[in-house]
Amino acid sequence: MENNLIMFNSVTLAMRARDILGINNVFSRLIRTPINLKNRSCGYSLLVKSDFSKAVEILSRNGIAYIGTAAVDAE
């Protein structure tokens, strides 16, 4: 298992991040943050199944703040 979850402070920011990743050809899916990680986020995260390091780089380059990453079983 590798890091594949990006957690955000708001669902709006998570949706904006998803859109920016899509424009850059990185697939991500908006999901509910797993219950054991919810105290670290708003309850929504992006699941990135491949190109995780590229996704984080794109978000940083575009000024999208995220509050953490985690490794979860891909759905």
Condensed to tens digits (0 to 9), the pLDDT of residues 30-56 reads 998 887 776 655 688 999 988 899 999
- How does DSSP assign 2-29, residue by residue? -EEEEE-S-HHHHHHHHHHHHHTT---E
Count of CB atoms situated within 10 Å of the CB of 35: 8
Q: Which CATH superfamily is domain 3-71 in?
A: Hypothetical protein rpa1041 (3.30.70.1530)
pLDDT at residue 71 in the model: 86
Would the pLDDT of 17 be above 80?
A: yes
pLDDT level of residue 11 (50, 70, 90 thresholds): very high
pLDDT at residue 18 in the model: 97
